[in-house]
Chains A and B, each alone.
Chain A
Amino acid sequence: MELKTDLTLDAKGLACPMPIVKTKKTMKDIEAGQVLEIQATDKGSKADLEAWAKSAGHQYLGTIEEGDVLKHYVRKSSGEEEQEKKHPNVVNNEDLDALRKNDDVLVLDVREAAEYAFEHIPEATSIPLGELEERTDELDHTKNVYIVCRTGSRSDLAAQKLTEKGFENVYNVVPGMSEWNGETTKL
């Protein structure tokens, strides 16, 4: 499976501690909120990377095994939790869980492709925030659009954007996937 990321690091053939040393360095080269794919062959890299990301405040998304290669996905910490939310129409996770299956509802997940890949609401459509501008046409104007991200910040920006574009029934789901207790699936 190919997941769209912002940068790929080749750490294949390297033994511990090098995969983490290189990952730490490479994280400096990407923007906050972007996703790095790390390809490694050291089996121990999974547990270490997960623990390292947690300790460094980054978001470990998951690992895909392809033959001998482990593809790890990490999203750089963004401090998005502190951002002020501006879109007026807000619902909480429970509200969305109750109506996500309705015909007039469109669940839009604006997290990065790799975040979506490892865990998302079954009904959710994926369009990362960065691609929303050019992909607005893919969305049905007539639906009630419920936008989710991890903590409610990117979805707030997305909700503002869709409102600007003339969507009338747009809701920001807060807090979003970080505390989602309902059903989920993965790619």
Chain B
Amino acid sequence: MTVKNMTVKEITNKVLNNEELFLFDVRTEDAYQDWKIEGENFSYLNVPYFDLLDGVEEIVGQLPRDKEIAVVCAKGGSSQMVAEMLVEEGFENVYSVEGGMKAWSEHLEPVKVNDLKDGGELYQFVRIGKGCLSYMVVSNGEAAIIDSTRMTDVYVDFAKELGVKITNVFDTHLHADHISGGRKIAEQTGATYWLPPEDAGEVTFDYQPLRDGDHVTVGNTNIDIHALYSPGHTKGSTSFVVDDQYLMTGDILFIDSIGRPDLAGKADDWVMDLRETLYTRYKELSDDLIVLPAHFMIMDELNEDGTVAEKLGTLFEKNHGLNIDDQEEFRKMVTENLPPQPNAYQEIRETNMGKISPDNEEQREMEIGPNRCAVR
């Protein structure tokens, strides 16, 4: 019997449109507790597939007959099996999530943030399953990519569709939560790969050092990418002001939280850098800049159009991490009671330095789980 599939793209649309969906997650309880597909109007049931091998009779009472049910597992095989059993039990609106949580973790949804001056465009790539955000700045036949994920084909194909050439690739910092695709894209397209040198001390490959005050032009219509040294999450963390309107903050400042300074083991050293960046350097910038971070942590941070963006002035009013007057209290918040560190963050850092070269399957395993780059 064949079962209808639901793609992660379709689920993404349901998340963005706040639609209803009943998710029947058949992974282990541990995997489910650690990380699942989140949606404003989603409801859930978790029963591991291996407890259903003898039949689904015992749990069908817990499933709605009048709603769409999406069965999800790690890679799509077990959800297929369970969905088939449900169809045999007479359920009509049952789907198996194609590719499972693996596909969910890797899906990138490009969302247009806005037009830039002189016909340029700015896109945000929302990696909705992992909370990673990357960017493409397009102008007059050229493109720059910021904080690329390892799913490099998505950017390369997207640029091809737009008919533009990728000329510059940036990482705001050495990532610890996901594997950067920056170097690979640069190698593939001949683009220049920029990294902040303070984060690149141990890298094993050539890169273009990115320094405070550098300007990089995309296209010949002067979309200006202005580097702004903003240490704190890492020593080298650098923000970008794009087209005088957008502030790409990397992992320093998010919509509802701020970066954590501990992922390279230097929480106490970097905490004052972080404070200086957030409370002094960013304060000197225009309140009208639109902040575009490298992550979001909760679905509430998404705007209605699917973007993750907010005015800097609004964040200075509303983001708790920007409103702690007492230095000691701030130090405590970002160094104590931190959330667990991201899965395999040391190996991820070493991969991004070029020190180890895990294969695709291993890279996927390393990135499993939720994003944990922030403190609230």
Contacts and interface: CB of A to CB of B under 8 A. Distances in A.
Nearest to A21: B53
A18 B28 CA distance: 15
Given A16-B73, A16-B74, A43-B365, A48 B28 contact: yes
B51 A17 contact: no
A16 B100 CA distance: 11
A131 to B, nearest CB: 32
A48 B31 CA distance: 10
A18 B48 CA distance: 14
A44 B75 contact: yes
A17 B26 CA distance: 11
Contacts, number: 44
B272 interface: no
Contacts of A43: 361, 365
B30 A17 contact: no
Interface residues of A, number: 15
Contact of B28 (A17, A21, A24, A47): A47
B74 A24 contact: no
A20 B365 contact: no
Contact of B53 (A15, A20, A44, A47): A20
Contacts of B28: 47-48, 51
Interface in B23-81: 28-31, 48-51, 53, 73-75, 77-78, 81
Nearest to A43: B365
Given A24-B50, A51-B29, A15 B77 contact: yes
Interface in B169-189: none
Interface string B215-251: 0000000000000000000000000000000000000
Nearest to A23: B50
A158 to B, nearest CB: 34
Contacts of B365: 43
Interface of B: 28-31, 48-51, 53, 73-75, 77-78, 81, 361, 365
Interface of A: 15-18, 20-21, 24, 43-44, 47-48, 51-52, 55-56
9 contacts: A15-B77, A17-B49, A20-B49, A20-B50, A47-B28, A48-B28, A55-B48, A55-B51, A56-B50
Given A16-B49, A17-B49, A52-B48, 10 more contacts: A15-B75, A16-B78, A17-B78, A44-B74, A47-B30, A47-B31, A48-B50, A52-B50, A55-B48, A55-B50
What 4 A-B pairs come out closest when comparing CB atoms? Answer: A17-B78, A52-B50, A51-B28, A16-B77
